[in-house]
Amino acid sequence: MPGSASQTETETQPRLYTDLARWWPLVSPPSHYDEEAADLLPSLRSAVDAPPRTLLELGSGGGSLAWHLKRALQLTLTDRSAQMLDVSRAINPECEHIVGDMRSLDLQRTFDLVLIHDAIMYATDAASAQAAIATARRHCRRGGGLVIVPDCVRETFTAATTTGGEDAPDGRGLRYLEWTWDPDPDDNTFEAVFSLVLRERDGSVRCELDQHRCGLFSRATWSKWLGDARFAMTSRTDPWQREIFVCTSTR
């Protein structure tokens, strides 16, 4: 869920976004986002001072959510993983795709809306989260909107185990187990590990592991950062118990 050389050369991206990216459509396909997109669109529209036309998504990944939003908005999709953007191009060929890190991207233009979905979870320290907000501010027109949708905030995090996966028409298949936990409640991160069972077209099966470190900040911390960046913020809890920050650029 690119950028400046210093960031991308020193950081290792999760395998699901690099060497395993071709399997992403079997982890989280567009069909998983029907209800979420319908729930999110009113918040996007309410964030701006006039009916929006353009949207920049920071950390757009495989484009499964964008597949729904492109029906209502003109999308520019950015991600620091070139492999994930290749996945997105296959289902969203009409959208603009740009490799870039949400902490440092500068397209030298503004949009009616900026969206940061669950890719914000990879901001694991205050400087990274604030840099992502600054990027959003830089690309948001005056009176435009920013919507941030973290998987959880400090107050809503719970350790969990989830499973999923899909089969492809070409005979491939994937099943996963995702295990999340917080090894140190006093810091601002938690861990997520994916155990993936992959079936190739020839029927051969293998297992892969992928570990992710994610950021975890309080509602008050997000509110302060967004206010410091000159956004007027409201928030709501969506049907999946996630905090959605809906912001309007004030000046």
Tens-place pLDDT, residues 12-68? 899 999 999 999 999 999 999 999 999 999 999 999 999 999 999 999 999 999 999
pLDDT surpassing 70 at residue 2: no
pLDDT surpassing 60 at residue 244: yes
pLDDT surpassing 70 at residue 4: no
Residue-level pLDDT at 40: 98
State the distance between the two ends of the chain, measured CA to CA, in whole angstroms: 29
* pTM for this predicted structure: 0.94
Q: Could you give the dihedral angle defined by the CA atoms of residues 247, 55, 118 and 108, in that order, rounded to the nearest 10 degrees?
A: -90
pLDDT surpassing 60 at residue 5: no
pLDDT surpassing 90 at residue 202: yes
Residue-level pLDDT at 12: 87
For domain 5-152+218-249, give its CATH number from 3.40.50.150, 1.10.3720.10, 3.20.20.70, 3.90.1010.10: 3.40.50.150
**Domain range annotation of the chain:** 5-152+218-249, 154-214
Neighbours of 42 (CB within 10 A): 10
Tens-place pLDDT, residues 73-89? 999 999 999 999 999 99
* pLDDT confidence bin for 11, thresholds 50/70/90: confident
Do domains 5-152+218-249 and 154-214 share one topology? The answer is no
* pLDDT confidence bin for 119, thresholds 50/70/90: very high
Residue-level pLDDT at 251: 72
In whole angstroms, give the CA distance from residue 129 to residue 183.
21
CATH architecture designation of domain 154-214: Single Sheet (2.20)
pLDDT surpassing 80 at residue 101: yes
In whole angstroms, give the CA distance from residue 44 to residue 114.
9
Q: Which residues contact 6 (CB under 8 A, 6 or more apart)?
A: none
Tens-place pLDDT, residues 145-177? 999 999 999 999 999 999 999 999 999 999 999
Tens-place pLDDT, residues 211-242? 999 999 999 999 999 999 999 999 999 999 99
In whole angstroms, give the CA distance from residue 216 to residue 230.
22
Q: What is the DSSP letter of 31?
A: G
Residue-level pLDDT at 91: 98
* pLDDT confidence bin for 9, thresholds 50/70/90: very low
